[in-house]
Amino acid sequence: MENIYLTIALAPLVGAIIAGFFGSMLGRTATHTITILGVLVSTVLALVVFNHHVLEQGAVFNQNLYTWMQIGSLNVSVGFLVDNLTSVMLVVVSFVSLMVHIYTVGYMHDDDGYTKFFSYISLFTFSMFMLVMSNNFMQLFFGWEAVGLVSYLLIGFWHHKESA
- CA angle 59-5-86, nearest 5°? 55
Task: With cut-offs at 50, 70 and 90, classify the pLDDT of residue 86.
Answer: very high
Q: Where are the domains of the chain?
A: 2-155
Question: pLDDT tens digit string along 25-34?
Answer: 999 999 999 9
Single-letter residue type at 47: L
Q: Which pLDDT does position 158 carry in this prediction? A: 74
> 76 has which bridge partners?
69
Q: Which pLDDT does position 42 carry in this prediction? A: 98
